[in-house]
């Protein structure tokens, strides 16, 4: 009877083990439930952000270029460009934000590995959406590698962990960790 009332599930992440108990009222562990809500919310926000920004890019930037240089881009209407870019960017950013949130929840830290994995997943999602699930493996892997390198580079460029709060730059005396004294 007790086996029916509670069931333990083990989630292994980085050597840590967390037990989740399911009671008869189907209540889950609060932190696991919050992490799941956060992942779903981040994926949704990423998809909406990608759709809006992709639609704007397709309508405002790409459509005039397509009309000006028809030999470079397929002659599509402004609405077709907006729909196409909204669909592609929505998949890209939803995958990126969702995978980043999952990695953060599993590993418990935000580092370069999270950015590389989320970038590669976003590259795969983008290539599958762009070619309607008929993508060649080399093309999908090249997009995964490209976005992994791009996300990893962006993480290193915008790395907020390198800022030294204990010894910030003093502009009046020009003393700090990044100033050359001389």
84: three-class secondary structure by DSSP: helix
* Segment (H or E) for 61: none
Per-domain boundaries in the chain: 30-159
Half-sphere exposure (CA, 13 Å, Cβ side) for 176? Answer: 14
Residue among 122, 126, 129, 109 nearest 151 (CA):
122
pLDDT of residue 151: 93
Integer Cα distance of 116 and 80 in angstroms: 32
Among candidate residues 15, 2, 19, the one with its CA nearest the CA of residue 109: 15
Of 67, 79, 150, 56, give the one whose Cα is nearest residue 112: 150
C-alpha to C-alpha distances, 150 to 69, 100, 120, 145, nearest whole angstrom: 28, 14, 10, 9
Q: What Cα–Cα distance (Å) separates residue 11 from each residue in 8, 20, 32, 157?
A: 10, 8, 10, 33
Helices (H), 109-179: 112-130, 137-157
pLDDT of res. 33? 84
DSSP 160: G
CA 153 from centre of chain:
14
Alpha carbon distance 30, 38 (integer Å) = 12
Please tell me the predicted confidence (pLDDT) of residue 173: 54
* pLDDT attached to residue 3: 40
pLDDT at 177: 52
- Run means of pLDDT, 10 residues per run, the chain, 182 residues: 39 44 52 87 94 93 85 82 92 95 90 94 94 89 95 86 54 52 48
Instruction: State residue 49's pLDDT score.
Output: 95
């Amino acid at each position: 009877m007790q086996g029916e009332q509670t069931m333990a599930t083990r989630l292994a992440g980085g050597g840590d083990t967390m037990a989740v108990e399911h009671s008869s009222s189907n209540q889950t562990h609060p932190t696991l439930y919050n992490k799941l809500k956060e992942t779903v919310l981040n994926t949704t926000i990423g998809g909406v952000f990608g759709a809006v920004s992709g639609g704007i890019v397709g309508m405002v930037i790409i459509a005039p270029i397509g009309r000006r240089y028809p030999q470079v881009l397929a002659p599509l209407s402004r609405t077709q460009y907006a729909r196409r870019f909204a669909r592609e960017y929505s998949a890209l950013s939803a995958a990126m934000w969702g995978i980043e949130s999952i990695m953060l929840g599993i590993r418990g830290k935000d580092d370069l590995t999270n950015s590389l994995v989320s970038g590669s997943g976003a590259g795969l999602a983008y290539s599958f959406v762009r070619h309607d699930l008929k993508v060649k493996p080399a093309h999908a892997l090249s997009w995964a590698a490209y976005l992994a390198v791009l996300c990893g580079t962006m993480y290193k460029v915008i790395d907020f962990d390198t800022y030294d709060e204990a010894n910030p730059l003093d502009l009046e005396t020009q003393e700090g960790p990044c100033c050359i004294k001389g």
